[in-house]
Structure 1
Amino acid sequence: MKTNKNFKFYASTVLGILAFIISNSAMAQKSGIIRTDLQKHDLSFDGREAVQAKIDFEPHTAFGKHNHPGEEIIYVLEGSLEYEIEGQLPVTLKAGEVLFIPAGKFHSAKNNSDAKASELATYVVEKGKPILVMKK
Structure 2
Amino acid sequence: MSGQDRPEGISPTATESAPGLWRIDLQRQDISIPGREIIQTRVEFTPDSPPFKHFHPGEEIICVLQGSLEYTLEGQPPRVCNAGDALTVPYGVHHQAKNVGAGVAVELATYVVEKGKPLLTRVD
Q: TM-score, normalised by structure 1?
A: 0.78
Give the aligned length: 110
Q: 1:113 aligned to 2:101?
A: yes
How much does 1:68 deviate?
0.1
Letter in 2 for 1:95: A
Q: Is the 8 A contact 1:71 1:102 kept in 2?
A: yes
SS where residue 28 of structure 1 aligns?
strand
Q: 1:93 aligned to 2:81?
A: yes
Q: 1:43 aligned to 2:31?
A: yes
Q: 1:56 aligned to 2:64?
A: no
How much does 1:129 deviate?
0.3
The residue that corresponds to 1:122 in the other structure is 110
Which of structure 1's runs of 4+ aligned residues deviate more than 2 A? none
SS where residue 53 of structure 2 aligns?
strand
Determine the C-alpha separation between the residues in 2 that align with 1:84 and 1:128. 27
Give the % identical residues: 51
Letter in 1 for 2:117: K
Determine the C-alpha separation between the residues in 1 that align with 2:38 and 2:17. 23
What stretches of structure 1 of length at least 5 have no aligned partner?
1-26
What stretches of structure 2 of length at least 5 have no aligned partner?
1-14
Q: 1:81 aligned to 2:79?
A: no
The residue that corresponds to 1:5 in the other structure is none
RMSD: 1.2
The residue that corresponds to 1:6 in the other structure is none
Q: 1:71 aligned to 2:59?
A: yes
Q: In terms of Rg, which structure is larger?
A: 1
How much does 1:115 deviate?
1.1
